[in-house]
A = this chain, B = another copy of it.
């Protein structure tokens, strides 16, 4: 049985914690598993290096940033291998290059193109526990690349896929995926299972346990992810394909909250072809990240258009909108909104899920400013002050605490 394990920055944040990880790896080895272990940099290390770079330049060269930032994971990988060998377990540390991780040439945000598993397989066959420096690879020109924030998750999933591992265990300081944030709703329950699709919606909505790109890659490669805590022996949550009938029973898997939202509403927008495209193109040109977009059916010669942006980008968005004065009747901004979302593959085939949400919100006096739905998600923009109440109301109305 081959398992890929990944330990995040908090899990390897101190020398004591690296020793703790070594103990866990050794235990899995004693259970007879073949192991590839991907590690992040010690927590704080990557931020420190970024600060260093920004001392010299606001826009440091990306190629050089990759040489800089890839060093942290190398340190952790080497230390973990040293710890395991000292405990009597053969272990070898590999850099991204040595692990055969080939990427494209996009520095600081590279995509993994392929993994040459020759060395990995020979080390595993030779009886070694293979420790891989996460977050990094090498491109066709021999340049060091990194995979962007949370990239070690991506390394782990890609390795698990390429090696056809039985599972990819992602360790962090949280012991799995919850029906909602336990700090908001103490009745939140850890899920035993969640589908890739639900996880994708949840993580883009603010459940920070897993990096979105890794879930997408896991889905594409059919990798079974297990999200676990490196500080406990709790079971964790399996993220995998929707599994037959059982799943149909669960309408809703979780409730997510994103408080970093600002709303922009444009009324009486000239309804000519391409006007929306123009507006969003200009926003993109200014690097403003638009999240939710809704457009009402057009009425005569004008239409209403609404969208949300991160709160710190609202001022920039306003400036862009002002340039469209002649096309927009009136505009209205709200900096203090949040997005609360209900996610569940079950809702695809069940009507009434949305109605239940709207009714529960109304009953509690929470006004819904915008609504957007997908097959497995209902998102609502509400006044920020109702955020926590809305989460608890929705958590209860779908029986997530049971």
Q: Which residues of A contact B (CB under 8 A)?
A: 15, 18-19, 22, 49, 52-53, 55-57, 60-61, 63-65, 67-68, 70-72, 74-75, 77-79, 81-83, 85-86, 92-93, 95, 97-98, 133, 142-144
Contacts of A56 in B (CB 8 A): 15, 18-19, 22, 79, 82-83, 86
Contact B67 A78 (CB under 8 A): yes
| 15 A/B residue pairs, CB under 8 Å, sorted by A | A15-B52, A19-B55, A52-B75, A52-B79, A60-B85, A61-B85, A64-B78, A64-B85, A64-B93, A67-B78, A68-B82, A70-B74, A71-B72, A71-B74, A98-B143
Which listed residue, B60, B65, B72, B79, touches A53 by the CB 8 Å rule?
A: B79
Complex alpha-carbon distance, A55 and B144, angstroms? 29
Contact B86 A67 (CB under 8 A): no
Known: A49-B75, A57-B86. 9 other contacts (CB 8 A): A52-B79, A56-B86, A64-B93, A67-B133, A68-B75, A68-B79, A71-B74, A95-B144, A98-B142
Contacts of A18 in B (CB 8 A): 56
Contact A85 B57 (CB under 8 A): yes
Of chain B, the residue at the smallest CB distance from A16 is: B55
With contact pairs A95-B144, A98-B142, A142-B98 given, residues A78 and B57 touching in the complex (Cβ less than 8 Å): no
Contact B55 A15 (CB under 8 A): yes
Contact A74 B68 (CB under 8 A): yes
Contact A67 B95 (CB under 8 A): yes
Complex alpha-carbon distance, A289 and B352, angstroms? 84
Contacts of A65 in B (CB 8 A): 78, 82
Contact A74 B79 (CB under 8 A): no
Shortest C-beta distance, A279 to chain B (Å), equals: 35
Contacts of A82 in B (CB 8 A): 53, 56-57, 60-61, 64-65, 68
Contacts of A97 in B (CB 8 A): 142
8 smallest CB-CB distances across A and B, nearest first, come from A68-B78, A57-B86, A71-B71, A56-B83, A60-B82, A67-B78, A64-B78, A15-B55
Shortest C-beta distance, A296 to chain B (Å), equals: 48
Contacts of A144 in B (CB 8 A): 95
Complex alpha-carbon distance, A22 and B56, angstroms? 10
Contacts of A64 in B (CB 8 A): 78-79, 81-82, 85, 92-93
With contact pairs A55-B15, A56-B19 given, residues A67 and B77 touching in the complex (Cβ less than 8 Å): yes
Complex alpha-carbon distance, A383 and B15, angstroms? 45
Shortest C-beta distance, A396 to chain B (Å), equals: 48
Complex alpha-carbon distance, A71 and B81, angstroms? 16
Complex alpha-carbon distance, A61 and B90, angstroms? 10
Shortest C-beta distance, A341 to chain B (Å), equals: 40
Contacts of A74 in B (CB 8 A): 67-68, 70-71
Contacts of A85 in B (CB 8 A): 57, 60-61, 64
With contact pairs A67-B93, A68-B74 given, residues A81 and B61 touching in the complex (Cβ less than 8 Å): yes
Shortest C-beta distance, A71 to chain B (Å), equals: 4
Contacts of A81 in B (CB 8 A): 61, 64
Of chain B, the residue at the smallest CB distance from A70 is: B74
With contact pairs A15-B52, A55-B15, A56-B15 given, residues A63 and B75 touching in the complex (Cβ less than 8 Å): no
Contacts of A57 in B (CB 8 A): 82-83, 85-86
Complex alpha-carbon distance, A92 and B61, angstroms? 9
Contacts of A55 in B (CB 8 A): 15, 19
Contacts of A75 in B (CB 8 A): 49, 52, 68, 71
Contacts of A98 in B (CB 8 A): 142-143
Complex alpha-carbon distance, A237 and B75, angstroms? 37
Complex alpha-carbon distance, A296 and B65, angstroms? 62
Of chain B, the residue at the smallest CB distance from A71 is: B71
